[in-house]
Amino acid sequence: MLPRSPELQNKLSLYKTLLLKWSKAINLVSPSTLQDIDSRHFEDSLQIEPLLPSGAKVLFDFGSGAGFPALVLAMAREDLEVHVFESDQKKCAFMGSVSRETFIPVIIHNERVEHVDIQKLPKPDVVTARALSSLKSLLDMAQRWWESNEDLLLIFPKGEKSEAEILEAREFFSFDLEEFPSSTDSRSKILRIRHVQTIEKTN
């Protein structure tokens, strides 16, 4: 288990209580993971924190669902301005409740990230997404931001199909890639990506 301060542990305990309570009424996470919330959701999210740059100021999380990893990272790194993007209104309401109860001021956008007005948002230093889509699709979603910031850092936890997703993505994009083993699942990895560029296709 990754080290946690007493303050962080208290926030995560409250988060867990809210997750269990709300899950009785709406489907926030896979029901099979509710028996092991600490490992499947909290530890899985917390392992991303050491991979964040110390100077990062703004983090975007795509398809945040019940708030993983975004809300956990906001609790662990209170210096970050965290924006979550989620189209499901009920999940946004849940994240709002966690934000209020734990005093973590995340900014919640109840819309698909593809539809947001980029002019109304700050420029992110980091983009995350967990269990949302293929790597190629995630790079497509983030294109408006990496095109304007070549140093944008993208961090995506991936499962056992990560190698196939990397090969697919490299058909369309070039990028610098670091791979880190997951501490919660031996079949999974965390991908850290920089310097994304579109590969120009020739006829």
The CATH number of residue 79's host domain is 3.40.50.150
| Distance, CA of 116 to CA of 61 (rounded, Å) | 13
Q: Is 2 inside a domain boundary? A: no
In a domain, 12, yes or no: no
Number of domains in the chain: 1
Residue at 15 is within a domain: no
Indicate whether 170 belongs to any domain: yes
Cβ pair 116, 109 in contact under 8 A: yes
Q: What is the pLDDT of residues 31-86, one digit of tens each?
A: 877 787 888 889 999 999 999 998 999 999 999 999 999 999 999 999 999 999 99
Q: CB of 2 within 8 A of CB of 38?
A: no
Q: What is the pLDDT of residue 29?
A: 84
Supply the range of the domain harboring residue 127: 36-198
Distance separating alpha carbons of residues 11 and 5, to the nearest angstrom: 10
Nearest of 67, 50, 63 to residue 192 by alpha carbon? 50
